[in-house]
Structure 1
Amino acid sequence: MQRTDLEKYLTDLLKPQQIKDFTPNGLQVQGSDTITKVITGVTASKALIERAITENADAILVHHGYFWKNESYVIRGMKHDRIKALLLNDINLFAYHLPLDIHPTLGNNAQLAQLFNIENVRPLELGNSLSVAMQGDFAQAYSGNELANIINETLGRECLHIAPPSNKPIKTIAWCSGGGQGYIELAAEQGIDAFLTGEVSEQTTHVANEMNIHFFAAGHHATERYGVKALGEHIAQELGLDVQFIDIDNPV
C-alpha cells in the first residue's frame, strides 16, 4: 500500500492529535512510497533497523522513536548512524508514543489488562478518558508473592516487588506501562491495593511503605512490548501487510 494511506490509517486509528506528547507521533523519517513489509518493535534502535534491513522491510513501526522534547537538534553520532541507515535503505519510520499507551484495545495498558485478566478497567485519573494510567480489579485476591509470580511468568522476567508493612491482599490494581512510577501516589490516595509499572525511582520505596500499597516494577521494555505487537497484528489483518514483530531484548 502507499505510505500516505498507511499514515492516514494509523492517524485515524490512534488519534495522536488528541493528546499532548513529548515527541512527534506518526511518520518521523520518510522512506519508500510503497509499503509491503513492516517491522514492528519497541524502540527504533540501530539493532532493530539492521534487522529491518535484513528483512527487506519498507517500514518500521515502533513505540519509541526519535526527536524527543529537550533532545539536541544536532544529527550526529548515534542519531546520525540510525537516520543514515534508514535513508540509505529507503525505510519509513513510524512512531507512536502516548497514543499507543492509551489506545483502548491495542494500547500497552489495554494489552497488560488482557494479559493479567484485569476486570472493570477504567482511568486512574478520574474524569480523564485519555488517562495514561489505568485501574481495575482482579476476580480473586492475590498475595503480593502470588501476583509477583504471575507477573514474572507472564512477562518472562523477574519483577521488583516492594510490599508495604501490612502486606495486604491485592484485589484492586492500578498500572501504567513504561516509566509510570510517578502515578503510585495517586493510586495509593484512591485506596488501590497495588501499582504496576515498568520502572522504579528512589522515592518509590518510601511511598509504597508509607502509603500502604504494593509496588511492582516489571521493566520498561517488558511492559511495552505488547502494544506495538498488537498494532502490527491489527494492520496485518486489516490492511494485508506483511508484518513481523522483532523483540530486541532490553533488561531495563
Structure 2
Amino acid sequence: MSISRTELLQAFDGLLQPERFKDYGPNGLQVEGKPEIAHVVSGVTASRALIEAAIAAGADAIFVHHGLFWRGQDGRVTGWMKQRLQLLLAHDINLFAYHLPLDAHPELGNNAQLGRVLGLAPDARFGDQDLGFAAPAAFASGQSLADHVARALGRAVTWVPPDSAGAQRPIRRVAWCTGGAQGYFEAAIAAGADVFVTGEISEPQAHLARETGVGFIAAGHHATERYGAPAVAAQVAHQLGLDHQFIEIDNPA
C-alpha cells in the first residue's frame, strides 16, 4: 500500500503540531522526493550513513529528529551537505524532520519515550515551551539512579553528584530533557528535582550541581534521543498501512 507525500506530511503535522513551537529550523518536509510513499525509514539524524542505509532498504521517505537545515547555518550546498542532498535527490527520497515537536509529544516524543525506557511516569512539565518532563522516583541515591540510566541506555553516563551530604540522599523526584538541554538545569532545579537527566553537560552545570545540591546526569545526546523518531514513525505508518523500519546509526555522543 502507498499514500501520497501530502497525506503523510499531514499525518506527521497533525500528530506533532509543529506550528506550536519556536524552533531552530524548519519542521516537516525538508527535501521533496517521490509523490507516492510505501516504505518509511526512521532514524535520529539525517546523516549520510542513514541516507545510504535507507537507500539500501528501498525507502521512499526518511523521518528524523535532526534534519539538514538549521537557523544560522552556512547556506551553501557544498561538501557534506552536497553529498547528503545528492543522495536524497538522486534516489527521489523524501526527508521529513521534526525537532522540538518530536521532543515534546506527550506520549511518543523523545522525552516521553526516555521516561518510558527509564521507568519514570511524568506528572509535570517545565522549562521553555514545556519541553522538560518531571516525575516521582524512588532511588536510594543519585549514584543508583546514574547506574540505572547507564544500564537502561547501554552506555556510560557522566554523573555529577551534589555536595557530599547530598550525594547519599534518596532521590524522590527526577527531571529530564533529552539532547543538548543542559541549559534547562536551573529550570529543573526550580521544578523541585533531586536530579536532572539530559544528554550533554557544559562547564557551568558541575558547579551548579555542587552549589544547589541537585545532581546532574549527562547520558548522551544521541543516546537520549533515539526513541522518539521510531515511535512516531511506527505509529503513523501503522495508521496509514505503510512499511516502517528504524535504522540505528552508531553514535558515541
In 2: Cα distance, 1:142 partner to 1:237 partner: 40
| Equivalent AA in structure 2 for residue 76 of structure 1 | T
In the alignment, structure 2 segments of 5+ residues that lack a partner are: none
- 2:232 counterpart residue number: 231
TM-score (structure 1 length as normaliser): 0.95
In 1, Cα distance between equivalents of 2:122 and 2:101: 21
Residue in 2 that maps onto 1:133: 132
Instruction: Show CA shifts across 1:91-131 (max 9, x none).
Output: 00000000000001110011111122223421123xx7x41
| Secondary structure of 1:119 counterpart | coil
Aligned-partner residue type, residue 200 of structure 1 = I
- Provide the C-alpha distance between the structure 2 equivalents of 1:155 and 1:12, rounded to a whole number of angstroms: 30
CA–CA distance in structure 1, aligned partners of residues 228 and 14 of structure 2: 17
Could you give the per-residue CA deviations for residues 140-181 of structure 1, whole angstroms, max 9, x where no partner exists? 233112111111111111111001112122110111000011
Deviations 1:174-223 (A, max 9, x none): 11000011111122233310000000001111011001111000000000
Alignment of 1:153-232 (within 5 A): 153-165=151-163, 166-167=166-167, 168-232=169-233
Unaligned 5+ runs, structure 1 = none
**How well do the aligned residues superpose, as a CA RMSD in angstroms?**
1.1
Name the amino acid aligned to 1:194: V
Q: CA–CA distance in 1 between the matches of 2:152 and 2:104? A: 21
Paired letter, 2:37: I
Give the drift of 1:66. 1.4
Deviation for aligned residue 1:20: 0.7
| Mapped partners of 1:66, 1:27: distance in 2 | 11
> How far apart in 2 are the matches of 1:59 and 1:90?
9
Quick check: 1:38–1:244 contact (8 Å CA) kept in 2?
A: yes
Moved more, 241-250 or 116-125: 116-125
Given that residues 113 and 121 in structure 1 are in contact (C-alpha distance below 8 angstroms), is that contact kept between their aligned partners in structure 2?
no
2:115–2:122: 8 Å Cα contact kept in structure 1? no
Which residue of structure 2 aligns with residue 94 of structure 1? Answer: 96
The letter of the residue matching 1:29 is V
Distance between the aligned counterparts of 1:91 and 1:133, measured in 2? 33
In structure 1, C-alpha distance between the alignment counterparts of 2:196 and 2:21, rounded to whole Å: 23
Equivalent position SS for 1:61: strand
1:1-252 counterparts in 2 under 5 A? 1-125=3-127, 130-138=129-137, 140-165=138-163, 166-167=166-167, 168-252=169-253
Q: Is the 8 A contact 2:122 2:133 kept in 1?
A: no
Offset of residue 249 of structure 1: 1.0
**Pair 176,211 (structure 1): closer, same or farther in 2 beyond 3 Å:** same
Q: Which stretch shifts more, 217-226 or 233-242?
A: 233-242
Aligned length: 248
Secondary structure of the residue aligned to 1:158 is coil
Q: Percent identity?
A: 48
Is the 1:188–1:212 contact (alpha carbons within 8 Å) kept by the matching residues of 2?
no
What code does the residue aligned with 2:147 have?
N
SS of alignment partner, residue 40 of structure 1: strand
Q: Which runs of 4+ in 1 moved over 3 A?
A: none
Deviations 1:75-95 (A, max 9, x none): 111101100110000000000
